[in-house]
Amino acid sequence: MLFDKERLLSQFQDEEKIVLDKVLDKAEEALRTHKVAFTKFLNPHHLYLAQEMLDQVRDLKYLLYGAYQQAERQRLAVMPDYYIEDMVDSPLTLLDISGQFKFQDVSHRDFLGAILGTGIKREMVGDLVLYKEGCQAIIAPEIKDYLIYNLEQVHKIGVEVKEISFDRLQVEPQRIKKIKSTVASLRLDSVASSGFGTSRSKMSKIIEQGKVKVNWQVVEDPAYFLDEDDLLSIRGRCRVEIDEFRGKSRKDRIKLTLKRYL
């Protein structure tokens, strides 16, 4: 046995277990065949869990592919730890979907709905980057030709679909604001109120309403304790990451540096 699959999956349930079981299938394939194996696109929460899990597998390493630094949906390339990374071909293709959208507002949901409406599964589609004349879709290469020939319209507007190179990807650089703060503890309500600039009492209510995620998973307990590198997000707002601990103040408060992604 290459690794104890049952043990690695024992902490997960339902959808998480199904997705991560497939990730371990790819890890097993990579170690058995001594080749690279690719997962489907994973959402941020599943990606986080997959990395935590794969870090426990001996003789294995992995790379992330999302096409740009802040990509949310990414694929994992898993391979034996001796594999030369430069030999891995990118498992991504970029499609340009353009049309006469000057007088018609179209959203991410419209483009995604049109793509999935052709019969494509969500796991084959990465991030969608919208621009004035259309959308750039990061996809698995094996569905490229199918979409080019079958995606004909978005929101009742005819579209042209073609493959383009990744140097034409229209992504704006991520803007980051660093915040130096002190908190009484690493409770979620305390750190989040500092990072998002909201009172602690108001933040506690937002957390209890299920609007706050830690590492892409909803947490409804204001007293939940955080750790370095944890990523916080609130629906419809920016994200905040715990960048580093800087010791304690004279009043025994914890000094933090937070990164707010704008």
One domain, residues 164 and 97: yes
Give percent above pLDDT 70 in the chain. 100
Average pLDDT over residues 76-81: 96
Residue 236 has pLDDT above 80, yes or no: no
What is the extent of the structural domain holding 41? 5-87
With a threshold of 0.75, does the pTM exceed it?
yes
- The domain that holds 125 is classified in CATH as 3.30.70.330
Cβ distance 213 to 232 under 8 Å?
yes
Are residues 142 and 216 both part of a single domain?
no
Residue carrying structure tokens 């949906």: 73
Position 104, amino acid = Q
CA nearest neighbour of 64 among 83, 35, 31, 42 = 42
Determine how many CB atoms are found less than 10 A away from the CB of residue 34.
10
Domain count, the chain: 3
CATH number at residue 215: 3.10.290.10
Domain boundary among 24, 54, 87: 87
Q: Give the model's pLDDT for residue 162.
A: 97
Helix/strand number for the chain, H first, E second:
7, 14
Confidence at residue 1, expressed as pLDDT on a 0 to 100 scale: 56
Q: What is the pLDDT of residue 99?
A: 92
Residue 14: CATH number of its domain = 3.30.1370.160
pLDDT of residue 190: 94
Q: Which helix (H) or strand (E) holds 162?
A: strand 157-164
What pLDDT does 207 receive?
94
Cβ proximity of 260 and 177 under 8 Å: yes
Regarding whether 256 and 187 lie in a shared domain, the answer is yes
| pLDDT tens track for 125-156 | 999 999 988 999 999 999 999 999 999 999 99
Would you list the DSSP string of 211-262? -EEETTEE---TTPBP-TT-EEEETTS-EEEEEEEEEE-TTSPEEEEEEEE-
Q: Which of 29, 54, 87 is the last residue of a domain?
A: 87
